[in-house]
Amino acid sequence: MSLLRAEEVSKRFSGLSALDAVSLTVAPGEIVGLIGPNGAGKTTLFNCLYGVLAPDGGRITFDGRDLAGLAVHRRARLGIGRTFQRIELFAGMTVRDHLLVAERARRGDGALWKDLCNRSRPTSDERARADATLGLLGLDDVADRPVESLSLGRGRLVELGRALMIEPRLLLLDEPSSGLDHRETDEMADVLDVVRRERGTAILLVEHDVAMVRRVTSRLYVLDFGQLIADGPTAEVVADARVRQAYLGDTV
């Protein structure tokens, strides 16, 4: 039983086909990679899965439910979390606040009257859950710092933590290692392993760092010119001649 299922998804931009009948599945608790050369349609596919773009054709289901026409924040409430290629944090907020506001949003507990009765402070339960995630990601020491003061690597972890607070069953990660150095990339890979192991979260990631893809993913999809050209267990796909030609060149 797959958690996320995209069937024959197509998208055209002013006549140009960006996605051509792409199908993919993600099962609960597995980490799946999506790679391909630039302009292959990876981001377009991500945006269709996520609800920023509406596909022109095909069907996307999550846990058996058709996602068509569902707004981004509704998909989040169903349990689809996301991080961004260009980091998107809430300026002026501390790391802990990022997690707390996500926790509150998950509970859908934001009635105005509660604010007016001064009953909207974070509960001890909410704090405990935020602390647990901070601990998981190793962000304890910067919990009360504003996010502007963090390095990019830490910032990406905050994004991940924020996404984890909504208890996602599926995480969509857009180039999580982009802009990170070797050490930070290794840390990110470690964290993704831990998240999958401890929380059972399924992950679909777009990534260019082949070393990272090999390390964390068990299956791989390869897009080129809007079409799937290969999919299967990571090791096999990376060895595939067509993939090497289209994407990896001679670097691996």
Partner 1 sequence: MTPPLLELDHVDAGYGPFRALFDVSFSVAEGRALALLGSNGAGKTTVARVASGLVAPTAGHVRLAGDDVTGVAAFRLARRGVAHAPEGRSVFATLTVEENLVLAFREGTKRGHPGVDASLASAYDLFPRLATRRGQVAGTLSGGEQRMLSLARVLVQPPRLLIVDELSLGLAPIIVSEVYATLGRIKAAGTTLLIVEQLVSHALGIADDVVLLTKGRTGYVGPADELGDLDAHFLG
Partner 2 sequence: MTDLVSYAIRGVPIGCVFALMAVGVVLTYKTSGVFNLAFGAQAFVSAAVYYETRVRHDWPIWLAFLVAVVALGPAIGYVLDRALFRHLRTAPPIARLVTSLGLLVAIPQMVQIWFGNSPAYNPLGIAPDPGRIFRWGEYALDANQVATILVTLLVVAALTVLFRFSALGLRMRAVVESPRMSELTAINADRVGSSAWMMSSFLAGLSGVLLAPLFAQVEANAFFTLLVAAVAAAAFGGLSSIPLTFAGGLALGVLQQVLAGYLPSDSVVSQGLRPALPFLVLFLLLLFWPPLRGIGRAADPLAGVDPPPPAPAATVRSSGMTTMTRVLAVATVAGFVLAALFWFDAFWLLLFTKGLIFGVIFLSITVLTGMGGQVSLSQAAFAGVGAFATGQLVENFGLPVLPTMFLGALVAAVVGAVLAIPALRLDGLYLTLATLAFALMWENVLVPQTWVSSGPLGVDVPRPLVGPVDFTDDRAFLLLCLVVLALVGLLVLLVKRGTTGRYLDALRGSELAAASIGVDRTRARITTFALSAGIAGLGGGLLASQVGRATPTDYVFFLGLFWVVMVVTLGDRSVQAAITAGMSFLLVPELLSRIDLGFLPEILNPADNPAAIASILFGLGALTYAKHPEGILELQTRRSIERVNTWGAALARRRSATVDASDGPDPAVANGPGGPR
Question: In whole angstroms, what is the distance from residue 250 CA to residue 71 CA?
Answer: 42
Question: In whole angstroms, what is the distance from residue 199 CA to residue 166 CA?
Answer: 12
- CA distances in angstroms from 166 to 54, 79, 106, listed in the order given: 23, 7, 5
Shortest distance in whole angstroms from residue 178 CB to partner 1: 6
The residue whose two tokens read 């963090």 is: 150
Q: Please, which residues have CB within 8 angstroms of residue 111's CB and are 6 or more apart in sequence?
A: none
From residue 30 to residue 59, what is the string marking binding to partner 1 with x (rule CB under 8 A)?
-----xxxxxxx-x----------------
Residue with smaller CB distance to partner 2, 113 or 249: 113
Shortest distance in whole angstroms from residue 123 CB to partner 1: 35
Q: Which residues, numbered 53-92, are part of the site for partner 1 (CB under 8 A)?
A: 85-86
Q: Please, which residues have CB within 8 angstroms of residue 134's CB and are 6 or more apart in sequence?
A: 95, 96, 99, 140, 143, 161
By CB under 8 A, residue 139 contacts partner 1: no
From first CA to last CA, the distance across the chain in angstroms is 34
Convert 190-202 to b/e letters by CB count within 10 Å (16 or more is b): ebbeebbeebebb
**Among partner 1, partner 2, none, what binds residue 230 when CB lies within 5 to 8 Å by partner kind?**
none
Q: Which residues, numbered 5-34, are part of the site for partner 1 (CB under 8 A)?
A: 13
Shortest distance in whole angstroms from residue 152 CB to partner 1: 6
Contact pick of 184, 193, 215, 227 for partner 1 (by CB under 8 A) = 184
By CB under 8 A, residue 138 contacts partner 1: no
Q: Please, which residues have CB within 8 angstroms of residue 210's CB and are 6 or more apart in sequence?
A: 35, 238, 248, 251, 252
**Among partner 2, partner 1, none, what binds residue 82 when CB lies within 5 to 8 Å by partner kind?**
partner 2
Residue with smaller CB distance to partner 2, 125 or 148: 148
Interface residue list for partner 1 (CB under 8 A):
13, 35-41, 43, 85-86, 151-153, 175, 178-184, 208, 210, 246-252
